[in-house]
């Protein structure tokens, strides 16, 4: 559901690192805001738009009938998502916190890609990046222990989330668990263990602000 609309407010000049040629074509239409928890699109819905996170964070997931959930990716500031190269979305996307996205019509992008080989290759590069992430995640989900998974998660977020020393995780323990194929209790225990070992520290009153105190030992835990 669209919660709040700020159409065509082009004041933001965000870092478009991965956009390549797309950033040069003026086909991003407008901004939208989604409240925390709001659904951006549902699995199997027709893919009319693609999105870029300007502020906030998004989770993409699949559900089984009985409610088991697998989060395939978190989308952070700057990330592009919803790029399915097909008629229908393959994940449900939800705002984890209040989130602003920029969006464009998928058909106009397709149209450009059909004639402009540079845009087509940009799409290929982005899709390849998504594929590589999924391939690494299969190894994690199929063969790593709970501690290895949590260590890998922290290192991924450390790399992606910010240059600052403090990691402000937007997602809950349950989100992390559903990303790592664990339960929230197991995630919590792994984090407590890393805390006790002096590998990380907690900051705020909530436990979502984490400082990595020993990236080397953390990396040794992720094989």
Give the footprint of a copy of itself on this chain (CB under 8 A): 62, 64-66, 68-70, 72, 84-86, 90-91, 113-117, 120-121, 123-125, 127-128, 130-132, 134-135, 137-139, 141-144, 178, 180-181, 223
- Rounded to a whole number of angstroms, the minimum distance from the CB of residue 213 to a copy of itself is 24
Cβ atoms of 158 and 215 within 8 Å: the answer is yes
- Please tell me what DSSP assigns to residue 46: B
206 binds DNA (CB under 7 A): yes
- Establish if 119 lies at the interface with DNA (CB under 7 A): no
Residue in 69, 160, 189, 217 binding DNA, rule: CB under 7 A: 189
Establish if 184 lies at the interface with DNA (CB under 7 A). yes
* Residue 157 or 182 having the CB closest to DNA: 182
Contact 53, 83 (CB under 8 A): no
Q: Give which of DNA, a copy of itself, none residue 116 binds (C-beta under 5 to 8 Å, depending on kind).
A: a copy of itself
99 belongs to the binding site for DNA (CB under 7 A):
no
Whole-angstrom distance, CA of residue 140 vs CA of residue 144: 5
Contact between 67 and DNA (CB under 7 A)?
A: no
Q: Would the CA dihedral through 172, 174, 177, 181 be positive or negative?
A: negative
CB 55: neighbour CB atoms within 10 A? 14
Q: Could you tell me the CA-to-CA distances from 216 to 189, 195, 199 in Å, in that order? A: 20, 15, 9
Could you say which DSSP state residue 22 is in? Answer: G
Size of the site for DNA (CB under 7 A): 22
Write down how long the chain is. 223
List interacting residues with DNA (CB under 7 A): 145-147, 172-174, 181-189, 191-192, 202, 205-208
């Amino acid at each position: 559901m669209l919660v709040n609309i700020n159409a065509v407010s082009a004041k933001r000049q965000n870092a478009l690192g991965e956009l390549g040629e797309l950033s040069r074509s003026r086909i991003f239409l407008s901004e939208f805001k989604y409240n925390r928890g709001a659904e951006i699109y549902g699995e199997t819905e027709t893919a009319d738009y693609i999105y870029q996170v300007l502020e906030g964070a998004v989770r993409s997931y699949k559900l089984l009938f009985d409610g088991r959930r697998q989060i395939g990716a978190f989308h952070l500031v700057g990330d592009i998502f919803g790029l399915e190269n097909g008629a229908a979305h393959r994940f449900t996307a939800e705002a984890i916190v209040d989130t602003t996205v920029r969006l464009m019509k998928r058909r106009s992008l397709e149209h450009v890609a059909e004639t402009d080989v540079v845009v087509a290759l940009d799409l290929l590069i982005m899709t390849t990046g998504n594929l590589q992430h999924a391939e690494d995640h299969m190894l994690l989900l199929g063969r790593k222990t709970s501690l290895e998974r949590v260590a890998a998660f922290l290192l991924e977020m450390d790399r992606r989330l910010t240059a600052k020393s403090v990691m402000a995780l937007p997602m809950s323990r349950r989100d992390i668990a559903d990303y790592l194929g664990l339960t929230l209790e197991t995630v919590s225990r792994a984090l407590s263990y890393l805390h006790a070992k002096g590998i990380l520290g907690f900051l705020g009153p909530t436990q979502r602000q984490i400082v990595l105190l020993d990236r080397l030992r953390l990396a040794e835990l992720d094989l």
